[in-house]
A and B are shown apart, each in its own frame.
Chain A
Amino acid sequence: MAVTAEDLAPDIRRFSLWTAVRRNPTIAIGAVLLAVLLVIAIFAPWIATSDPLKIVPVNRLRPPSERWWFGTDQFGRDVFSRTVYGARISLIVGLSVAVISSVLGLALGLACGYFRRVDGVVMRVMDGLMAIPSILLAIALITLSRPGLGIVIVAIVIPEVPRIVRVVRAVVLSIRSQPYIESAIAGGTKNWKLLTRHILPNTLAPLIVQSTYVCASAMLIEASLSFLGAGVPPEVPSWGNIIAQGRNFFQIAPWIVLIPGGFLAVTVLAVNLLGDGLRDRLDPRLARRL
């Protein structure tokens, strides 16, 4: 009877890209779409067929053709080039809002979940912040300073932070009650190590998922702000600005509105697909196999 407890232990599953994609097509689709958009944004100067800001009045409102792939706007600017550059604004806003609010939200969420004394105060402040609509906040901030990308990002970050704090705090609270935390304390693990080694890594998965949703919603809010004229300065070719400026010509030149609108929709969809896929993959309750 020289069989040890382990002789019949299950095999370790090896990771393979193909099985990952097959099991989780949403992540793959989202990631591929997003990668394409990133490439477009980074290499915009090489992809764009002309200067997005160059006004050529002769070529006003030309429909899509071989020369102007996405047509031109009322100033004769090339909509294709403007849309390509617009990807930069959307992605910058989406990613910076996601990163900044994640970092802030993680710090506050960990503090609230772990040190119960700060919890009450911080959470009430967060409730207050959540009640501020980002559009009003952006308008208020712009009246106080010059419009610009930074202001837009700040205006979106402030109401998004509480959403992250809530998620992180809830996760920390549930992890704190896990037996493995008690087991670690009984094993002499001190506060700091408990936070960094046992609690933090377990909050990352839900944090990443939540931040993808924040990213998608930041892109939409940026577009709405631009559309309302409370976002990035009008000369900057963001998708919201392009749509806002093409609005009056929608009847005769619908491409000005529809094409950047389509890009915005696809980008948000890609981020959301990625988020849903990650949630399914990272949530241990859903990922647990039979």
Chain B
Amino acid sequence: MSDAPVLQVEGLVKHFPIQGGLLQRQVGAVRAVDGVTFSIRRGETLGLVGESGCGKSTIGKVVLKLIEPTAGKIVLAGEDVTALKPGAMWTHRRRIQTIFQDPYSSMNPRLPSGTIVGEPLENFGIARGAARDEQVAQLFRRVGLRPEAMRKYAHEFSGGQRQRLGIAKALSVNPDVIVADEPVSALDVSVQAQVLNLLIDLQEEYGLAYLFISHDLAVMRHISHRIAVMYLGRIVELADKRTLFTQPLHPYTEALLSAATAPDPKRRGLRKKIVQGDVPSPANPPPGCHFHTRCLYATAQCRVTAPPLLEVAPGHHVACLRRPVGGDPGPLSIPG
């Protein structure tokens, strides 16, 4: 595990314009990602967790340069790819691959699975013809599919198998980073375990770095090394998973953890702090700390000042005005 990060993201911003009126002029912006900074090392999984609309999937797409960032910096294996045009980006695509959420719509229905998996090999001129088929067969075996299945079409596979196809495709060009956007949330529990185990095995075998995007805390805790909790386009807490789960500092992390259900009836009623209200619209986020509208501990200051993400303990970053550097990590008091 070398210490140089394979993927570095600094101050990433992505705003989607809202058009309106007769002339389709921009009348506002959805601030999907609002200044996000993180890095991933080789062989490491960074989890991005948050509820719908928090911008986690947008980060995945921006990092893959499927959409252009509004501001900020993306450094892939030491090279700044932020401003690269599609043509110049192409050579860097080998280094970063992706696994999608929906195994049904992420495969072209009209191509045999072997062609889909082998496409990146062809695109980057790594292997063609028989050599490509041989490599694809190996990839199939590696992800637990029979090489004979190369001729089958995506719809002939089950959901779990399709996700294996997606993994094989991402793996084909031997990337440094894989962005996995909710890769198991469309799968049944029994199949989900198969795919998670496979992802972990592959990471250990090839030293892959994963940017793992999910809303499921249990899955996240299982697969990640470090976890970033997002709320309305910002990271509110970032820590190694043990710290995050045993000593969450941000009130939103605490709320997420206590809202998660556990498959254990004895723990029923242990849920204490259910956060009330809905997530505000990212087109019109509250001023100050985005979470203050739902936060039990919010003070007058929280409604005005956006808290910076500070390293309050080694490796533990929190964006909360009530959690200053060197502050007491104990429970917060509810302001009178």
Contact = CB atoms under 8 A, between A and B. Distances in A.
Interface in B132-175: 144-146, 149, 152, 156-158, 160-161, 164, 166, 169, 172-173
Interface string A220-249: 000000000000000000000000000000
A188 B93 contact: yes
A187 B152 CA distance: 20
B123 A189 contact: yes
A183 B169 contact: yes
Interface in A251-290: 284
A99 B110 CA distance: 23
Nearest to B191: A5
Interface residues of B, number: 39
B218 to A, nearest CB: 22
Contacts of A6: 144-146, 149, 161
A9 B156 contact: yes
Interface in A1-49: 4-6, 9-10, 12
B106 A180 contact: yes
Contacts of B160: 5
A101 B68 CA distance: 37
Nearest to A187: B120
Nearest to A185: B66
Is the contact region of chain A dominated by helix, strand, or loop, or is it mixed?
helix
Nearest to A191: B86
Contacts of B156: 9-10, 12
Nearest to B105: A179
Contacts of A189: 119, 123
A180 B107 contact: yes
Interface in B2-21: none
Nearest to A183: B106
A180 B153 CA distance: 14
A280 to B, nearest CB: 17
Contacts of B145: 4-6
Q: Kindly list the 8 A-B residue pairs having the minimum CB-CB distance in the complex, ordered from nearest.
A: A188-B123, A187-B120, A179-B106, A188-B93, A180-B108, A186-B98, A179-B105, A201-B110
Interface of A: 4-6, 9-10, 12, 178-180, 182-190, 193, 197-198, 201-202, 284
11 contacts: A6-B145, A179-B105, A182-B66, A182-B100, A186-B93, A187-B169, A189-B119, A197-B108, A198-B108, A202-B109, A202-B110
